[in-house]
Structure 1
Amino acid sequence: MKHFLAFILVILVSTFSFAQDVKLLKGKVVNTAGFGLENVHVVNLNQVVGSITNKEGDFSIKAVANDTLHFSFLGYKSIKIKVTNDWINFGSSTIELTESAYALEEILILPHKLTGYLEIDSKYIPINKSYRYSISGLSKGYEAGKKGPGAINKVLGAIFNPADLLYNTFSKKGRQMRKLRDMKKDDEIRNLLINKFDRDLLTSFLQIDKGELEDVLTQCNYSKEFIKSANDLQILDAISGCYEEYKVLKRKK
């Protein structure tokens, strides 16, 4: 009887949770002086939708109670805030962002004497020396870092051993990984990620730290050069593509 009552309780709680209507949540983002901040990106990590503040710092975004909103703005510390019933029922809420303190490292600038001849001057352009390999039957290439005797073997080994490829990360984070496709479809999120290089939103969404994120990309056979230089949208596409192929290969095994 106790088990039956527990089962009924779980059903009722689940039904109540799914019955929550997604509402348009309103808010305002300000700095420590109380002035509204324009172009602050707001992302609902649960509903996988994004928004952006206007000139006054006002925004609106779809949400339900207990959703987590991620706020980010260049030069300010990113924060995450939980949506409450009071916020939904009683109107707008004000969110305050604080400025980040960055310590700039010393940069050494070396002059290049240009000759005016493209063939000579083009040699000064930095070149990504990472090599990519295309495997028949798969939709994308694999980047194996600098060319070397073991590079292609590393790629093939990862592809044809899907049980070992990212198994721990992808199996434990399956729910977050499945939402990557939704992130790619939302224009606001894509516009945000294309100009970001800090991996902050991605790590918050996937619930992993930056070190784990780099490990995922390394296991997906992306080079250190790519991991270091790519913007967050490119990183999103890389992880998403790797996960989709992982699922296909795992089903075939």
Structure 2
Amino acid sequence: MLKIFFFLLVIGSLNVYSQNERIFLHGKISDKLGGLANVHVINLNTKHGTYTNDNGNFKIPVKLNDSLRFSFVGYETKLLKVTEKYFGIKNNNFLLNKTTYTLDEVNLKRNNLLGFLSADSKLIKKEKVINAETLKLPFAGSRILTPAERRLQTAQGGSNPYMLGLLGGSVSLDLIINSISGRIKKLKKIKAIEESEKNISFIKNIHERYIINELSISKDNLYRFIYFCEADSKFIRILNQGEIAMINFLKQKSKEFKNL
């Protein structure tokens, strides 16, 4: 009797543990042709997300009654509530259906168009756009400078307070003085640091959970790892290629980081 009571107590404890602690749910996302790569999988309760690999497989920490969302461009978004049947199975299979687009009805009105683009384009009435560029305001359309960029521009003579004639041209007095004093060089370093910190903050905000949970980089080493990635000469190019390229880059760099 005592053994049975102890057995039931252990089972009950495991039950409570499984309901309160998240474990990895393994799954595969496919369409009618096979596994789908780079499908975004997110736990709506924890906001933790991941992507499927080349074969459509993924793993994500969940607990009972969590809600998962599967989304991929060109496919219907799928919502899933985690129930007991998804635990204990090595791999769960999920199917995504392609999105069907329905075009709105278009009513055609009588017109005097001739069917020739060069002639018809002159007959189409265009609404007048009013903005800083059409009004020809100063600096319209120019990018807003950061504090470091503004200081550097001013030091290089952006405000042009004094000009010196030089071989038929002119050179800003600010540029000459600040170049000799070393201020230009210092401000360029500050600008580079500002851009680096902005990129590092962006990676932390977007990929922190992925780096810690999927790449197994400890929280104490998070910034050290991101700085390690940012020092790579390919970092800026990868950053401009988009989120998927950055995830693959981080995965590769994590292997190098762990080998150091």
State the TM-score, normalizing by the size of structure 2: 0.35
Higher gyration radius (CA): 2
State the TM-score, normalizing by the size of structure 1: 0.36
The answer to which structure, 1 or 2, has the higher relative contact order (CA under 8 A, 6+ apart) is 1
